[in-house]
Amino acid sequence: MKPQYELFNISQRKDYTFKYNSKLGRHGWLRLTPAYSVKLVKEIIDEISDVKFILDPFSGTGTTGLVAAEHGFNANIFDINPFLVWFGNTKCKNYLFEDVEYLRHKKEQILELLPSYISQHNWEPDIHNIERWWSRDTLLILSALHKSICEVIGNPQDNSTGNLLWVAFNRLIIDTSSAAFNHVSMSFHNYVKIHELDQIRQLYSLSVDQILSSVKVSFIGNANAYLFDSKNFENGFNDQRYSHVITSPPYPNRISYIRELRPYMYWSKFLSNSNSAGELDWESIGGTWGIATSRLKDWQPTQTELQSGLNKIIENIVSTDQKYSNLLAKYVLKYFHDMHIHFDTMRKHLSNNARIYYIIGNSSFYGAAVPTHELLAESLHQLGYKNIQTNVIRKRNTKKQLYEYCISATYIK
Provide the percentage of residues in the chain whose pLDDT is more than 90: 65
pLDDT bucket at 253, cuts 50 / 70 / 90: confident
**Do 58 and 83 share a domain, yes or no?**
yes
pLDDT band at 5 (very low <50, low <70, confident <90, very high): very low
pLDDT of residue 259: 78
Q: What's the pLDDT score for residue 4?
A: 47
Give me the chain's average pLDDT, please.
89
84 and 126 share a domain?
no
Can you give the residue range of the structural domain that contains 165?
Answer: 97-214
Last residue of a domain, one of 174, 194, 214: 214
| pLDDT category of residue 187 using cuts at 50, 70 and 90 | confident
- Convert the pLDDT of each residue in 114-172 to its tens digit: 999 999 999 999 998 999 999 999 999 999 999 999 999 999 877 788 999 999 999 99
- pLDDT, residue 37, reads 85
Please check whether residues 75 and 114 belong to one and the same domain: no
- 62 in the same domain as 121: no
Report the Cα 106 to chain-centroid distance in Å: 29
pLDDT confidence band for 371 (50 / 70 / 90): very high
Tell me how far the alpha carbon of residue 82 is from its chain's centroid: 11
Q: What is the pLDDT of residue 13?
A: 76
Which residues lie closer than 8 Å to 168 by C-beta, 6 or more apart? 204, 207, 208, 211
Instruction: Give 394's pLDDT tier (boundaries 50, 70, 90).
Output: confident
d(CA 121, CA 117): 8
Indicate the pLDDT class of residue 202, thresholds 50, 70 and 90.
very high
| Residue 372 vs residue 234, higher pLDDT | 372
* pLDDT classification of 295: cutoffs 50, 70, 90: confident
Residue 25's nearest CA partner among 226, 245, 219 is 219
- Averaged over 277-297, what is the pLDDT? 80
pLDDT digits (tens, 9 = 90+) for 42-74: 999 999 988 999 999 999 999 999 999 999 999
SS3 category, 110 = helix
Distance, CA of 91 to CA of 168 (rounded, Å): 12
Q: Is the pLDDT of residue 323 over 80?
A: yes
Number of domains in the chain: 2
Rounded to an integer, the average pLDDT of 1-14 is 58
Q: Tell me, what's the pLDDT at 17? A: 67
Last residue of a domain, one of 160, 187, 214: 214
Residue 2: what pLDDT?
Answer: 47
396 in the same domain as 257: yes
Average pLDDT over residues 201-214: 97
- Identify whether residues 269 and 154 lie together within a single domain: no
Tell me what pLDDT residue 55 has.
Answer: 97
Residue pair 36/14 in contact (Cβ under 8 Å)? The answer is no
| CA–CA separation, 395 and 8 (whole Å) | 9
Same domain, 306 and 335: yes
pLDDT given for residue 18 in this prediction: 67
pLDDT of 354 > 80? The answer is yes
DSSP sequence for 322-340: -TTHHHHHHHHHHHHHHHH
CA 267 to chain CA mean position, Å: 18
User: Are both 89 and 111 inside the same structural domain?
Assistant: no
1 in Cβ contact with 403 (< 8 Å) = no
CB 390 within 8 A of CB 364: no
- Sequence-ordered list of residues with C-beta below 8 angstroms from that of 57, at least 6 positions apart, any chain: 78, 228, 230, 245, 247, 249, 342, 346
Q: Could you give the 3-state DSSP secondary structure of residue 306?
A: coil
Predicted pLDDT of residue 1 = 45
Closest to 195 in 3D by CA, of 127, 243, 143, 158: 143
pLDDT in tens, 79-113: 999 999 999 999 999 999 999 999 999 999 999 99
Q: Can you tell me the distance from the alpha carbon of 405 to that of 409, in angstroms, rounded to the nearest whole number? A: 13
Whole-angstrom Cα distance, residue 385 to residue 343? 9
Lowest average pLDDT, out of 9-18, 26-35, 377-386, goes to 9-18
CA–CA dist 34, 407 (Å, integer): 18
Domain closes at, from 160, 179, 214: 214
Claim to verify: residue 282 and residue 161 sit in the same structural domain: no
Flag the least confident range among 207-216, 306-315, 360-369: 306-315
Q: What percent of the chain has pLDDT over 70?
A: 92
pLDDT at 3: 45
Q: Kindly tell me if the per-residue pLDDT of 33 is higher than 70.
A: no
Confidence of residue 239 (pLDDT cuts 50, 70, 90): confident
Q: How far apart are alpha carbons 356 and 243 in whole angstroms?
A: 8
pLDDT of residue 245: 98
Query: Where residue 68 sits, what CATH number does that domain have?
Result: 3.40.50.150
Q: Are residues 323 and 383 in the same domain?
A: yes
Over residues 274-290, mean pLDDT:
80
- How far is residue 391's CA from residue 404's CA, in Å, rounded to a whole number? 9
Kindly state whether residues 228 and 253 are assigned to the same domain.
yes
277 and 351 belong to one structural domain:
yes
Residues 6+ apart with CB under 8 A from 175: 203, 207
